[in-house]
Structure 1
Amino acid sequence: MNTYEPRGFTLLEMLIAIALLALIGLIGVQLLQGVLRSGEISQQHAGRLAEAQRAFGLLEQDIGQALKPPIAADHARQLNNSALALPGGNQQLRLLRRNWLNPGGYLPRSALEQVQWQMIDGVLQRRSFGFPAQATSQFDTLFPSVNNMRLRYWLNDRWLENWFAAYALPQAIEVTLEMPGYGALQRIFFITGEP
């Protein structure tokens, strides 16, 4: 006589196998969502760091090319009688810079440019004017989420909190930008002040 031996899986074994496969699938989906979320966060941080790099690069160009203003009365009034005018307290920096590109001399302007950095409602902006003063200016928003901008000036082996010297430049400027999530980002820029 033949005895019947069961072949295959019981219902309980099948249910356990299906539950394990569902659990593995759920873990896989959660891992994939976590990777995608972290990728998005990394892209956001990379974008904010690229903005910071761009802003500090422009600050370096502007401050590194800073000039003492001409002594002529017309030009002095345009710069508030100071090489580094700070009309808004420690939230604003205005200076005259050289080497404003004009390829081939096609544009009817000089190579000098007035640049104004300012904080307006938590946004760091760079404003550019021709020199002598032009009525129109160009705004460039650099940091949409800067909490604060602080400036300090290096002269004769010490840091100064304010700069009011007419027709003079410090040896360096320290710029500190406070951003949410990053804290204080600080750079020191040296000034040659001579062409």
Structure 2
Amino acid sequence: MTHPTAPPGNRTQPQTRSVARSSTAGEARRFNDWSGNGTQPLAMRQTGPVLEVRATAEATAEARRRSGGFTLVEVLVAMVVFAIIGLASAAVVNTMMRTSEQSAEARENLSELQRAMFLLEQDLRQAVSRRTPQGDYYVRAGWFNPGNLLPRSELQPVRYQIDEDKNLVRQHYTYVDMSSSQEPTERIVLRGVTKFEVKPLIKGEESDDMSTRMAAETEETDAMAIPDGLEVTLETEQWGTIVRVLVLNGGDFSEPES
């Protein structure tokens, strides 16, 4: 059986041969471009390990950077920040300590002034008309002696004076009839006092006339004249001039008649 042939002028290859060549060329190109098993390109097979190496190197560098601690710049910045915070905290604490010390000193000075004025007022308000062997002492009553257990009376000779250190000193004796051989008991009442003055006050009289009359009465009698009031003047370095007026009862402590 013979197959029909094409005309001599337009002769072509058989279809099967063309497909076979085409298939053979495609297989060859695929073999050249792909690996031996025909599943992965050669270029991709060569690039994959390079990318993996780079990723591994970057991960190793990142791990070293994290495990290596802080850098020098970070440490310096942290030190500067802590230094600023420390200086600010020290300044605040120092200011608070100075303020606390000044407040405590002011409270102590004020308490000392209040105690001094209270003691001075107590001594002067309880003055009695009793003279002492030393004329610059006056006698006050109310020196507590519970049940007369102590070998003394409730009268106490007292005087106030300023020493060389500008301290207001209270001096007293145990007995009213003191002797020159005895030494008085001294107590610093107030510090920083430059002047201490006590003026008697009598109703309707001037200060000068009143002082003259009281001195004359004291010379005529053994009793000490007690004025209606006293004006106490203190000049201090810290508190300035302090003036107090105290009302007295003339030395009469008897109960008023009903």
Task: Please confirm whether the aligned pair reaches a TM-score higher than 0.5, indicating the same fold.
Answer: yes
Deviations 1:159-185 (A, max 9, x none): 627845123222222222222222123
**Contact 2:132–2:176 (CA<8 Å) still a contact in 1?**
no
Counterpart-to-counterpart distance in 1, 2:96 and 2:203: 52
1:60-75 residue pairs with structure 2 within 5 A?
60-69=121-130
Give matches, 1:1-195, under 5 Å.
15-69=76-130, 76=131, 78-80=133-135, 85=136, 94-121=137-164, 122-129=166-173, 130-134=175-179, 135-157=182-204, 160=207, 163=211, 165=214, 166=218, 167-192=224-249, 193-195=251-253
State the AA in 2 paired with 1:99.
G
CA distance in 2, matches of 1:147, 1:170: 25
Q: Secondary structure at the match of 2:168?
A: strand
**Residue type matched to 1:127 in 2?**
Q
Distance in 1 (alpha carbons) for counterparts of 2:198 and 2:176? 24
The structure with the largest alpha-carbon Rg is 2
Deviations 1:94-147 (A, max 9, x none): 321111111121222222111111111111111112212253421111123222
Query: Which structure would you say has the larger RCO, counting Cα contacts within 8 Å and 6 or more residues apart?
Result: 1
Structure 1 stretch displaced more, 180-189 or 96-105 = 180-189
Between 1:14-23 and 1:140-149, the stretch displaced more is: 14-23
- Structure 2 CA distance for partners of 1:23 and 1:157, relative to 1, 3 Å: farther
Aligned residues: 177
Deviations 1:26-79 (A, max 9, x none): 11111111111121122222222222111111111111101112xxxxxx4625
Task: Please tell me the residue identity of whatever aligns with 2:139.
Answer: L
Q: When you count strand as a share of all residues, which structure comes out higher?
A: 1
Change beyond 3 A, Cα 1:19–1:158: farther
Classify the secondary structure of the residue corresponding to 2:139. Answer: strand
- Structure 2 residue runs of 5 or longer lacking an equivalent are 1-50, 219-223, 254-258
Structure in which a larger fraction of residues adopt helix: 2
RMSD: 2.9
- Report percent identity of matched pairs: 30
Aligned equivalents of 2:243 and 2:71: distance in 1?
A: 68
Letter in 1 for 2:171: R
Give the structure-1-normalised TM-score.
Answer: 0.75
Q: How far apart are the structure 1 equivalents of 2:132 and 2:168?
A: 25
If the length of structure 2 is used for normalisation, what is the TM-score?
0.58
Moved over 3 A (4+): 1-7, 9-18, 161-164
